[in-house]
Amino acid sequence: MLLEVKDIIKSFYGVTALENINIRFEEGIVHALVGENGAGKSTLIKIIGGVYHADSGAILIDGMPVKIHSSFDALKKGISIVHQEYNLVRNMTVLENVMFGKEITGRFGKMDKAAASDYLQKIANKDNIKVDLGKYAGDLSSAEAKVVEILRACCNDMRLLILDEPTAALDDEDIASLFSLIRSLKTRGIGIIYISHRLDEVFQICDRVSVLKDGKHIGTWNTGDIDRDFLIKAMVGREIKDIFPHKASGNNYQNSVILSVRNLSDSSHFDNISFELKRGEILGIGGMSGHGQRELIRALFGAIRVTKGTIAINGEKVAIKHPAQAVKHGIAFLSDDRRNEGLAEQQSVARNIAYPSLKMHSRHGIIKSKAQHALIDDLIMQLNIKLSSQQEIVQNLSGGNQQRVVLAKWLPLKPCIMLFHEPTLGIDIGAKVEIYKILRNLVEQGISIIMVTSDMLELLNMSDRILVFYEGHIMAEYPGSVASEELIMAAASGKPFDIGDKE
Amino acid sequence: MTIAMNAAKAFLQELRHPRRHSAKIIWTVLALLLILIVIVIPEFIHPLNIANVLQQMVPLGLVAIGQTFVILGGGIDMSVGSQISLISLIASTLMTDSIPNILFIVLLCMSCGIICGALNGFILKVFPMPPLIATLCTGYFFQGIAFALHKTSGGYIPPLFKKVLTASWGIISVPFVFYLFVFLLAAFILYSTPFGRRVYALGGNADVLEKSGVSVASVKLVTYIISSLLCSIVGLYLAARLRSGSSHYGDEYTLLSITATVVGGTSMAGGLGGLSGTLAGTILISMLTNVLNNIAFRYNLQSSYYKDIITGILLITAMYFYRKRE
């Protein structure tokens, strides 16, 4: 046994991220780590990689307990992580990138490029890695960059290699060559932890798989002993609690289409997206994060430039190139990043609420403060925001109350479409129930909602219709009444079931 | 013929859309400008004037080399000007005619330079703050000490010291030879030693460096020390040349050294650029200064204002021109 985590517990600000995790990673075994967003995979990896320190529990290497103090410490102990995101210096060559910290020098401290290149070539040959050492890192394809990062790991006498979503940006051919590299590393006895959302890859390349869910270790199996359905169930199998308001049974708005999006594309995140939004509907958008949902919802609000396609509101084509135009067309946006995109945290509730509607409440450029004050009081009552006064600083409010302040900010503008990105992120369960009620109220008033969320329960139980994104495309669309966790997970990992097949 | 055409096309393409750092642009601009100047003011290439320009560019050239190290590492040194003034005053306050004393003061001044740079690097290590603010503050600090030493200019510099530091034979002069030596040494450090490569990585993606087990803070520290050490040499040189110290000698060098670096194609974001561009930037600025002085002399104008205006325009133009690179 190479590395073992034992009774690892980690919590952030009282929220448990990992609960008693026990997993053994062996030499020469490709060990997959799977789970939904927020299941605790990246926290566990960061603990093994020395970025975080566990609250309690132990890490054992070769059976001996060790402390891993920093990412460099992890490196010295033979643990290398290849992160999902690009981690090279673009304007330097592959050779230079790999050799930082272990440069070979000759007389007067002059670097010996020939010796370095020989040294690297030898290491590369072990695993049959082919890479042009003189190429600039910025000119490498995503696949080549991954290989270079693995080569860099190989130079550190690595024993355990952690690959975080290594195939996220690769095409099939690149994946095949990456897999043959992984197999070569495996035969040399290197242990590999493979994190991926793509379950087919897990069965293709991994020997063993561990499932994490809500910070708990659900189980570890040999991939030969289980099938895909079993794995999906292990990842999502949970009971639905009584926290969601009932969906309106009938639609009072005669299915009139308010927003229609045709062939919308941006430079790189989403491609050829078409859908319609009906009046008084909650349209949920699901999928693993990073598959274009974030960018789409911002593009609808004019915060990201689209390169192709049209947006029509009430049947009329509109140009939305800037958030100001979106607001003019009655679109409101509630970001997942309240701190940066939603609120001026250091300022009072009253000021925050007033910003978008300042013009409405001023005459000749001077704010009518009385009218504004009354309006804000009204909103605070209506949304049941708990405050001592309007002057309270937003930063001091709970997540749920902050989200309500963002809502209050938009309501005076009477939006017809509201875009929510992670409407209940960082909000505790009691406040979630309240937010869900407010969302239901809004759609009953005829407002339409698009909701991008990574919370599976929220997506299933709040949406009237669900779109599932995969690699910038809409992979599947399900009516809210039909959708299930299994259906969505399958579509989100690129292999949608046919609804007919399932039933 | 077609080959030449294609080569010219490729060159123009490269000029318009430089892939990474290209000092070609600034050297081309420099060459064109030189031709223009020679046509308009033929006396510019008089050997005496050339010798003059080459000597005039030395202080700026030295400061700009240091500034290039700092900017390549993703920082900026706003304190160079006041360091130069401070060192010139320390030298002029303490120097006497005895040779051992002169040597001692030179070493003392260089040590002071190293301390100034270490202070900048240390502050940035302990308090993570924008280097612009940190060095602006230390700059005021150094300037304050300089004022305390002497309100304007004064002190004493032995004639021997001036004689040695400004000796010249035709076009060749001690300062220029010294500058060439420093330039080549700096180029060797930047391009051929691990430290130099780490400076580029520091500005390009410090995370990579950290994860390779290289101390990011110490690489940064050394870039600021290099900058300050060169400032102290410039302070000594200016004190020798003018045979006094002054709390204003360094004033212009902060913005000029940044301009020379940026005009030479080094990215303000760090990690991209190099010394060849900075050399061209230095020559460009010195040439323009010389020409402005010439014109001002002819028409009896105050040239220093125009120089300030042109420096500002040059820096903004360069930033605009280079903005689209990664």
Interface pTM, i.e. ipTM: 0.80
pLDDT, tens only, A57-75: 999 999 899 999 888 889 8
The whole-angstrom separation of Cα B18 and Cα B34 is 23
Does residue A94 form part of some domain? no
- Give how many domains chain A has, as a whole number: 2
pLDDT in tens, B178-200: 999 999 999 999 999 999 999 99
Same domain, residue pair A317 and A194: no
Q: Tokens 């790189």 — which residue?
A: A268
How many other C-beta atoms lie within 10 A of the C-beta of residue A267?
A: 12
Residue A446 maps to a domain: yes
- pLDDT of residue A22 exceeding 90, the answer is yes
Instruction: Say which of B194, B200, B213 has its CB closest to residue A72.
Output: B213
Residues in chain B closer than 8 A to A85 (CB atoms): none
Beta bridge partners of A317: A312
Q: Please judge whether A96 and B205 are an interchain contact, meaning their C-beta atoms are less than 8 angstroms apart.
A: no
Q: A111 and B212: CB-CB below 8 Å?
A: no
Residues A266 and A232 reside in one and the same domain:
no
Contact B326 A90 (CB under 8 A): yes
Tell me the CA distances in angstroms from A388 to A350, A431, B197, B206, one per residue in order.
12, 18, 57, 45
pLDDT at B88: 95
Whether chain B has a CB inside 8 Å of the CB on A107: the answer is: no
Q: Mind telling me how many Å the CA of A79 is from chain B's nearest CA?
A: 12
Average pLDDT of chain A? Answer: 86
- A221 and A80 fall within a common domain: yes
Residue after which a domain boundary falls, among A240, A268, A302: A240
Give me the pLDDT at residue B19, please: 52
Query: A457 in a domain, yes or no?
Result: yes
| Residue of B51, B17, B26, B81 whose CA lies nearest to B278 | B26
Angstroms from B198 CA to nearest CA on chain A = 7
Listed range (A213-217, A358-362, B213-217) with the worst mean pLDDT? A358-362
Q: Does A122 touch chain B (CB under 8 A)?
A: no
Instruction: Tell me the chain A residues in contact with residue B209 when contact means C-beta distances shorter than 8 Å.
Output: 89, 100-101
One domain for residues A58 and A156? yes
Mean pLDDT value across residues A64-87: 88
Residue A284 pairs with which residues in a beta bridge?
Answer: A451, A466
Count interface pairs A-B at CB distance under 8 A. 72
User: Which residues of chain A neighbour B21 with C-beta distances below 8 Å?
Assistant: 91
- The reply to whether A502 touches chain B by the CB within 8 Å rule is no
Report the pLDDT value the prediction gives residue A248, as an integer from 0 to 100: 61
- Is A76's CB within 8 Å of B213's CB? yes
* CA dist list (Å): B321 to A59, B171, B264: 53, 34, 11
Based on the domain organization, do A227 and A337 belong to the same domain? no
Give the pLDDT confidence score for residue B181 in this predicted structure.
Answer: 96
DSSP H helices in A345-450: 349-354, 369-382, 399-410, 429-444
Contact A89 B208 (CB under 8 A): yes
In a domain, A71, yes or no: yes
Give me the pLDDT at residue B81, please.
96
Pick B208's closest partner by Cβ from A75, A88, A105. Answer: A88
Residues of A in contact with B190 (CB under 8 A): none
Nearest to B209 among A91, A100, A105 (CB): A100
Q: Residue A87 and residue B188: Cβ atoms within 8 Å?
A: no
Residue A210 has pLDDT above 70, yes or no: yes
Q: Are residues A236 and A262 in the same domain?
A: no
Q: Is A10 helix (H, G, I), strand (E, B) or coil?
A: strand
In this prediction, residue A208 carries a pLDDT of 94
Determine the average pLDDT of the residues in A99-114. 87
Predicted pLDDT at A252: 60
Type of residue at A243: I
Q: Which of residues 263-292 of B touch A (CB under 8 A)?
A: 271-272
Amino acid letter for position A330? G
CB contact under 8 A, B212 and A96: no
Q: Rounded to 5 degrees, what angle do the CA atoms A119, A125, A131 make?
A: 85
Mutation target vs A (from B20, B185, B211; most A CBs, 10 A cutoff): B211
- A96 interfaces chain B, CB cutoff of 8 Å: yes
Looking at the fold, whether A324 and A405 belong to one and the same domain comes out as: yes
Distance CA A382, CA B58 (A): 71
Decide if B197 and A136 are in contact by the 8 Å CB cutoff.
Answer: no
Residue A153 and residue A231 in one domain: yes
Determine, for residues B192 and A87 on separate chains, whether the beta-carbon distance falls below 8 Å.
no
Instruction: For residue A291, tell me if it sits in a domain.
Output: yes
- Per the CB < 8 A criterion, the answer to whether A201 and A28 are in contact is no
Chain B residues in contact with A138 by the CB 8 A cut-off are 20, 326
Of the three residues A182, A215, A240, the one that is the final residue of a domain is A240
Mutate to test the interface with B, among A79, A89, A99 (most CBs of B within 10 A): A89
Q: Which pLDDT score is estimated for B102?
A: 95
pLDDT greater at residue A76 or residue B222? B222
For chain B, domain boundaries: 57-251
Contact between B216 and A70 (Cβ < 8 Å): no
Whether residue A360 has pLDDT greater than 70: yes
CB-based contact, A253 to chain B, within 8 Å: no
Smallest CA-to-CA distance from B115 within B147, B145, B94, B75 is with: B145
Q: Does A120 fall in a domain?
A: no
Chain B residues touching residue A89 (CB < 8 angstroms):
200-201, 204-205, 208-209, 271
Tell me the per-residue pLDDT of B282-319, one tens digit each, with 9 for 90 and over. 999 999 988 888 888 888 777 677 788 888 898 888 88
Q: Which residues on chain A are in Cβ contact (under 8 Å) with B188?
A: 108, 110
Domain finish residue from A240, A273, A308? A240
> In the β-sheet with A208-213, what is the strand arrangement from edge to edge?
A64-66, A56-61, A3-12, A15-25, A216-222, A208-213, A30-34, A191-195, A160-164, A79-82
Q: Is residue A249 part of a domain?
A: no
B187 to chain A: closest CA residue: A110
Q: For chain A, what percent of residues have pLDDT higher than 70?
A: 93
pLDDT > 90: what percent of chain B? 63
Q: Do A108 and B271 touch (CB under 8 A)?
A: no
**pLDDT of res. B1:** 64
**Is the minimum CB–CB distance between A91 and chain B shorter than 8 Å?**
yes
Instruction: Out of A88, A91, A105, name the one closest to residue B272 (CB).
Output: A91
CATH code, domain carrying A297: 3.40.50.300
Cβ neighbours, 10 Å, residue B269: 13
Chain B residues with CB-CB distance to A96 below 8 A: 197, 200-201
Domain assignment of residue A247, yes or no: no
pLDDT at A236 over 90: no
A116-120, A389-393, B162-166 — which is least confidently predicted? A389-393
- The whole domain housing A213 covers 3-88+140-240
Q: Which of A72, A92, A152 sits opposite B204 (nearest CB)?
A: A92
Residues of chain B neighbouring A88 (CB-CB closer than 8 A): 205, 208
> Per mean pLDDT, which of A365-379, A485-499, B95-109 is the most reliable?
B95-109
Transcribe A444-481 into DSSP letters. Answer: HTT-EEEEE---HHHHHHH-SEEEEEETTEEEEEEETT
The closest CB to that of B200, out of A75, A89, A152, belongs to A89
Run of H or E including B195: helix B194-211
Q: Is the pLDDT of residue B269 over 70?
A: yes
Q: Please write the tens of the pLDDT for every residue from A424-479.
A: 876 765 677 888 889 998 998 889 999 999 888 789 889 999 999 998 999 999 98
- For A128-169, what is the HEC assignment? CCCCCCCCEHHHCCHHHHHHHHHHHHHCCCCCEEEEECCCCC
Model confidence band, residue B14 (pLDDT cutoffs 50, 70, 90):
low
For residue B12, what are its two tokens? 């123009």
End-to-end CA distance of chain A: 44
- Beta-carbon contacts of A116 under 8 Å, excluding residues fewer than 6 positions away, are A95, A99, A103, A104
Asked if A69 is an interface residue toward chain B (Cβ–Cβ < 8 A), one would say no
User: Residue A253's pLDDT is what?
Assistant: 64
Query: What is the per-residue pLDDT for A430?
Result: 65
> B205 vs A108: CB contact, 8 Å cut-off?
no
- Clarify whether residues A443 and A481 are in a common domain: yes
> Is some CB atom of chain B closer than 8 A to the CB atom of A90?
yes
Decide if B207 and A87 are in contact by the 8 Å CB cutoff. Answer: yes
Render pLDDT for B111-149 as a digit per residue (tens, 0 to 9): 999 999 999 999 999 988 999 999 999 999 999 999 998
Residue in chain A closest to B216 (alpha carbons) equals A101
pLDDT band at A37 (very low <50, low <70, confident <90, very high): low
Strands A160-164 and A79-82: parallel
CB contact under 8 A, A96 and B214: no
Is there a contact between B27 and B227 (Cβ–Cβ < 8 Å)? Answer: no
Inter-chain CB proximity A110 and B214 less than 8 Å? no
- Residue A503: pLDDT over 60: no
Same domain? For A332 and A481 the reply is yes
Choose the most confident range, by mean pLDDT, from A60-64, A498-502, B220-224: B220-224
pLDDT at A240: 47
- Do residues A261 and A232 share a domain? no
In this structure, the answer to whether residues A301 and A374 fall within a common structural domain is: yes
